[in-house]
């Protein structure tokens, strides 16, 4: 599968999910993640869709795979925090929530604010 085909498959799955076709979305994301196990986007989307239907074990497994690929990603840390909170493990939820906050701060430091029309920040 080429990168473009993989991206199209993930986008199709996202559209399916948005239209309420959860089973179709899960099938496509499962195919994407098994065909391209290095795809952070496929694993993260699979975690989110599974979380939305309260398949917490599957969501956590996919989230862990995405996190292994990109441990400093703000969004996967947020996803894992939500999953752990739903599973009732507040300590792990807070750990991933803190990691997400740290990544958010780092992003803010890398991207200085734009000056307004008067030249002030």
- pLDDT-derived band at 121 (thresholds 50, 70, 90) equals low
117 domain residue, yes or no: no
Could you list the residue range(s) of the whole structural domain that residue 55 is in? 3-110
65 domain residue, yes or no: yes
Read off the pLDDT of residues 2-11 as tens digits, 9 standing for 90 and up: 999 999 999 9
Instruction: Look at residues 39, 29, 43, 119 and name the one whose alpha carbon lies nearest to residue 83.
Output: 43
3-state helix, strand, coil in the chain (%, to 5): 75, 0, 25
Number of domains in the chain: 1
Read off the pLDDT of residues 19-46 as tens digits, 9 standing for 90 and up: 999 999 999 999 999 999 999 999 999 9
115 domain residue, yes or no: no
26 domain residue, yes or no: yes
Model pTM score: 0.82
| CATH number of residue 34's parent domain | 1.25.40.10
């Amino acid at each position: 599968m080429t990168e473009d085909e993989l991206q199209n498959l993930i986008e199709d799955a996202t559209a399916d999910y948005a239209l309420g076709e959860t089973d179709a979305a899960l099938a496509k994301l499962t195919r994407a993640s098994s065909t391209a196990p290095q795809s952070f986007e496929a694993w993260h989307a699979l975690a989110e869709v599974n979380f939305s239907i309260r398949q917490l074990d599957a969501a956590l497994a996919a989230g862990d795979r995405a996190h292994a690929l990109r441990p400093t990603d703000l969004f996967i840390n947020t996803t894992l925090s939500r999953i752990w909170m739903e599973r009732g493990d507040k300590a792990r939820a807070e750990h991933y929530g803190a990691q997400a906050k740290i990544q958010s701060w780092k992003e803010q430091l890398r991207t200085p604010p734009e000056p307004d029309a008067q030249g002030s920040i």
